[in-house]
Amino acid sequence: MRRGLPALLLAALPLLPSSLPAAADSATLPPAATGAPESLPGAGALEQVLPLFDAIDRLPVAAEHREGYDRRLYKHWNKGLNGSDGCNTRKEVILAEAVEAPQVGERCALTGGSWLSKYDNVTVTDAARLDVDHFVPLAEVYDSEQTPWSPERREAYANDQDSPDTLIAVTAASNRSKADKDPAEWLPTDATYHCTYAATWVGTKLRWDLAADEAERDALLGLAEDCATTVVSYDPAP
Omega cis (within 30) before 77: yes
Kindly report the number of other CB atoms within 10 A of residue 198's CB atom: 27
pLDDT at position 235: 96
Question: Taking a C-beta distance cutoff of 8 angstroms, is the pair 60, 48 a contact?
Answer: no
Reported confidence tier of residue 18, pLDDT bands at 50, 70, 90 = very low
The pLDDT tens digits for 140-150 are 999 999 999 99
Q: Could you give the C-alpha distances from 163 to 10, 47, 160, 182, 208, in angstroms and in order?
A: 21, 11, 7, 20, 11
DSSP state of 102: P
3-state secondary structure of 199: helix
Given 3-state DSSP classes, what are the helix, strand and coil percentages for the chain, each rounded to the nearest 5? 35, 15, 50
3-state secondary structure of 122: strand
pLDDT at position 82: 76
pTM for the full predicted model? 0.81
pLDDT at position 146: 95
3-state secondary structure of 193: helix
Question: Taking a C-beta distance cutoff of 8 angstroms, is the pair 93, 161 a contact?
Answer: yes
The pLDDT tens digits for 45-73 are 589 999 999 999 999 999 999 999 999 99
Q: Give Rg (Cα) of the chain.
A: 19
